[in-house]
Amino acid sequence: MVSELQAQTAIAARSAITFMGEPSCSSSTCHGGAGEKHNQFLTWSKLDFHSRAHATLTTARSARIADSLKIGNPVESANCTVCHSPLKSVAEKLHSTDSMRGVSCETCHGSAKNWLRSHTRPDWTHEDRVHAGMHDLKNLYVRANTCVSCHQNVNADLLQAGHPELIFELDGQAVTEPKHWREKSDWSGPQTWLVGQAVALREMSWQLSQEKSPAENAVNRWSALLWLLSATEGATGLLPANEFSSSNGLDIKNATSVQKWSDQLALKTAEAKWSAEWTRKCLNTLSGTAKMFRGKTPTRTIQARRAERLVLALDRLANGLNDEPAAKQLSPVIDRLFKDVQSLPDFDPAQFAGHLEEFQKSLPSLSESK
Ligand code: HEC
Ligand code: HEC
Ligand code: HEC
């Protein structure tokens, strides 16, 4: 079972000779040059994980996964290429298998057929290009949707066969990906984080709503993210309070409602003008949850999953404070929290709660916000 987004990508890839392949982008006067304005191809081909995604399917680890799934050669199997080399089927039609390997330019930017020639016209605005079919990746909602289609849901049978578990976190992952672009001046890490988490929750909700008996692990991961975002909500006031934060609300029978709610949250957050005040409020609210980790309920397994998402959140939010002395002070405290969630089977809730309280004490006070 692939998600709606993956299915769309796959259909687009199959129906379309309209993908041009990255050689269309990579001449030296276009995106294959050396200077900052032209070096997107170099950054992608030399540094970006996405250019290697196809080669990953030829490793021993991939062979083991494929063996266990009995799907034959992973390089040839849509079970794998849908994310690791999505334009593969197009490449075959064009008899140009080398040029479309991995996750290449058009996978993210959209099929270039209708805008390849015209997108460099000096009288064209960004809006004109988007109108011609280029994905509007400057819009955080569009960007999150693009990345999440490969970075969150992976089928239970793949996980059982040894595929790494995927956690989508747009801000951190966008920082990890060697950037071939510059962000707009009003770009905000915490805003990017929240849009990404809301979209991740929507995708997880969709996956759960499709399954008759979802794995306990998947349910716990979902309810942990729902818990986190419900707690964040009061800090921004972007949506009216939801009823999911009660323990009953975390029941997967609500998956479809949560799917709608989280999509709204993602949209509203992407449209909002993010304020530094929100970043501080989110940090304060989320680090104020230590009591829950000292409680007898929920179970330790669920607490561990909540802690895992929480640490990612605190890291990104603290990074977005733009306050160097504070960041310096928080950094060792965050490192300790990361250690606490490194191995979830060994998770110690009381210890984590203690570290979380120290984190909250180290926060710059809310009144200092700019
Ligand atoms: C068509 C599927 C696809 C899309 C779309 C996609 N990725 Fe990836 N991404 C992958 C695959 C597959 C890998 C693993 C590459 C490998 O084989 O090592 C990966 C790896 C990564 C990694 C390194 C591993 C990690 O998780 O730290 C980062 C960071 C990343 N992607 C960020 C992004 C961002 C940001 C976007 C959206 C702008 C995005 N990706 C869009 C498929 C995709
Ligand atoms: C839903 C999209 C998706 C599908 C389907 C998928 N992968 Fe992946 N795969 C990823 C992403 C994203 C990563 C990067 C994970 C990370 O590092 O966070 C990854 C990572 C991997 C890795 C680890 C790479 C490393 O450097 O450690 C292997 C091996 C792998 N995939 C093999 C496969 C095989 C084999 C299949 C088919 C049976 C497959 N994948 C199907 C998205 C996918
Ligand atoms: C994993 C997804 C992904 C892949 C693959 C990818 N891009 Fe991008 N690209 C982005 C994102 C996200 C942005 C930032 C949003 C924006 O500026 O439109 C971006 C921005 C750009 C920009 C605008 C630069 C700026 O500073 O304004 C160019 C040009 C570009 N990409 C070209 C390419 C080319 C050429 C390739 C292939 C060699 C490529 N991209 C592959 C995601 C991707």
pLDDT 10s digit of each residue in the chain, 370 long?
445 555 555 545 444 446 777 777 777 677 777 777 777 777 777 777 888 888 899 999 999 999 999 999 999 898 998 899 888 766 565 545 455 578 888 888 887 777 677 777 788 788 888 888 888 999 999 999 999 999 999 988 999 999 999 999 999 888 888 888 888 888 899 999 999 999 999 999 999 998 888 889 899 999 999 999 988 887 888 887 777 766 666 788 889 999 999 999 999 999 999 988 999 999 999 999 999 999 988 899 999 999 999 999 999 999 988 777 888 888 999 999 999 999 999 999 999 999 999 999 998 775 554 4
Q: Which residues line ligand 1 (CB under 6 A)?
A: 49-50, 52-53, 56, 83-84, 86, 103, 107-108, 143, 146-147, 149-151, 173-174, 176-177
Q: Which residues line ligand 3 (CB under 6 A)?
A: 22, 25, 31, 40-41, 44, 50, 103-105, 107-109, 137-138, 143, 180-182
Distance 174 CA to ligand 1 centre (A): 9
Rounded Cα gap, residues 53 and 188, in angstroms: 28
Q: Give the number of the atom of ligand 1 that is nearest the alpha carbon of residue 144.
A: 37
Distance 10 CA to ligand 3 centre (A): 20
Going by alpha carbons, the residue nearest to atom 21 of ligand 3 is 181
Distance 299 CA to ligand 3 centre (A): 43
Q: Give the number of the atom of ligand 2 that is nearest the alpha carbon of residue 62.
A: 35
| Cα 170–Cα 184–Cα 366 angle in degrees, nearest 5 | 70
- Out of 83, 107, 149, 169, mutate this one to test ligand 2's pocket (max ligand atoms within 8 Å of CB): namely 83
Going by alpha carbons, the residue nearest to atom 12 of ligand 2 is 151
CB 284 within 8 A of CB 360: yes
> Cα dist. 166→10, 158, 239 in Å?
20, 11, 27
- Provide the whole-model pTM: 0.90
**Which ligand is in closest contact with the Cα of 24?**
3
Torsion of CA 260, 238, 295, 330, to 10 degrees: 120
Distance 70 CA to ligand 3 centre (A): 36
Q: Write the CB contacts of 172 (distance below 8 Å, at least 6 apart in sequence).
A: 193, 312, 315, 316
Residue given tokens 């709610």 in the structure block: 261
Radius of gyration of the CA atoms of the chain, in A? 22
Rounded Cα gap, residues 90 and 191, in angstroms: 35
The two three-digit tokens of residue 135, written as one number: 């994905």
